[in-house]
Each structure stands twice: as C-alpha cells, then as structure tokens.
Structure 1
C-alpha cells in the first residue's frame, strides 16, 4: 500500500471512529430525553426519542465493523468515546423544546460530518464506507425532519 493510500485509509478509519463515538453519545443523549420528557406530548415524545435513539444505537456496530473491515481499530474502551466524539453529551435540566433543539443540532452536526467523511472515503477509493455513510445520512436527515416538525407551529406544545 502506498503512503498516500495508507494516509487516506487512516483518515477514513478516523472518520468511522468519530462517527461511532458520535453515535454512542447521541444515543445516550436520546436516553436522557426519553426518560426526562414531560408535558402534553409526553407519550409521543417518549416513544419518538426511544425510536430515534434505538436507530442511532444500531449504527454503532456497523461503524465499528466497517473500521475492522479496513484493518482499523474501532473505539472500544468506554473512556475513549468522549475524546473522539464531536457530539457533546447533554448536560443539565432541559425543557422539552431544548431537548428537541439539542437533538436537531446533533443531527445537523452528524449530517455535515458524514457528508465530509463520505467525500474522504470516496477520495480514498473506499466506496463501501462512502455508501454506508450516505445511507446513514438519510436516516439522520429523517430524524432531524421529524424533530423539526415538532417546532414548526409555535403553538406552545413543546415548551
């Protein structure tokens, strides 16, 4: 393998590891929202946060295994997740509106980075990783869409 190709593959593996770490942090944030939601939309939000969190969680293994397929090492030690992630863990007591806004911001960050990471993979000639990230972007776009719809009318149901 040439030095340039090795460098490109190292970049792809680093991107996969960051996305894997982001997925775990996003999942944990979703669990927080799921447990702490309240108000007139409680049932719907409780279920939506669980459903979207489960969807994000399912990607962790895919991302880790893709790294292994490229002869890389996925993030494996729990203490290594936060330093690798760009998604920030949710902190403090949040209103329902703040939870939804925080989840939207998380998806926007992940979508932006996955677009960049798909380009990195494509530049490295790694269509498998580019395809994986392209598919996952669509999932995150759908999650973001559902969340944004909650804030559209401004009717005060999500305070």
Structure 2
C-alpha cells in the first residue's frame, strides 16, 4: 500500500536517508563504546567501565528507535557493517587506546552524532515531520549530555 501521511515521497526519502546516516553513526558509536567498556584499564577503570556500559545500553535502544522510524517512513533501514561503514562519520578505534584517549574519542564521536542529527532537522521541520523532529531532538539531548559527562572526566 502507498503511504499517505502528508509527507511527499521525495521528502520521506531524504529524511530516511538522513536517518540512515544517524543510524550508522549511532551503531558505530555503540560498537566503539562497547569495545572501550571491555578494554578500559587504569585508575578510572570502574568509573569508565560503568559509564561506558550505561552509554552503550542507551545506544542499543536508540538504534532500534531510529531504524523503526526509517521503516515507518516507508524505506528499508541499513543493517550491515558494510552499509554502516559507508554511511558513518565516526572513526573506528585502532588498537587499544589509553583511558583518557578513549574519553577524548567518545566526546568527539558523541558530538559527531549531534551534528548528524542536527543536519537533518531542517528537512524534517520543513515538512512538519514531528515524529522525526522529536526523535532528532531527543537524540541530540542524549549525546550532548553524554559528551558533557565524558568531557568532565578530563578536567
């Protein structure tokens, strides 16, 4: 059946493509945060281990919400490592960085996800796609707070 929610097909496509980039960034950040959770060492081990777990758990829920929004718009959600690697703006970690470098990378990555979400707001707002605007706003709030909390550990 055709989708008739008041948003023209081309605009739904643009929004879905932008959400695909957000999904790729979010999933890549999830993997990176989970990796750092497993491999962090040093005096901040317990603090970072727990913080990273809280963050990757939240990200796991977010990827589902973003993918479901793409589907509600009538388009397939990207779902493979290959697709994500072609869409993401997040750099993978190489090797096992020290704890402070993990924090710095995750701050940059959290802010990258905010920029990805923010870049999609004008299109979604213009066609009055309030569910996507709400999703984007919520994601930006989460990532800005996570970046702030991580940054606070650096002094």
Give the unaligned 5+ runs of structure 1: 153-159
Residue of structure 2 aligned with 1:5, choices 8, 17, 21? 8
Q: What is the number of residues matched between the two proteins?
A: 150
> What corresponds to 1:118 in structure 2?
121
Give the unaligned 5+ runs of structure 2: none
Shift of 1:151: 0.5
Q: Secondary structure at the match of 1:93?
A: coil
Q: TM (normalized to structure 1)?
A: 0.88
Shift of 1:78: 3.4
1:37–1:46 CA contact under 8 A, matched in 2? yes
Q: TM (normalized to structure 2)?
A: 0.91
Query: How do 1:99-110 and structure 2 match up within 5 A?
Result: 99-110=102-113
Residue of structure 1 aligned with 2:35, choices 32, 36, 43? 32
C-alpha root-mean-square deviation of aligned residues, in Å?
Answer: 1.5
What do the CA deviations read for 1:26-49 (whole angstroms, capped 9, x no partner)?
011001111111111111111101
2:110–2:147 CA contact under 8 A, matched in 1? yes
> What corresponds to 1:156 in structure 2?
none
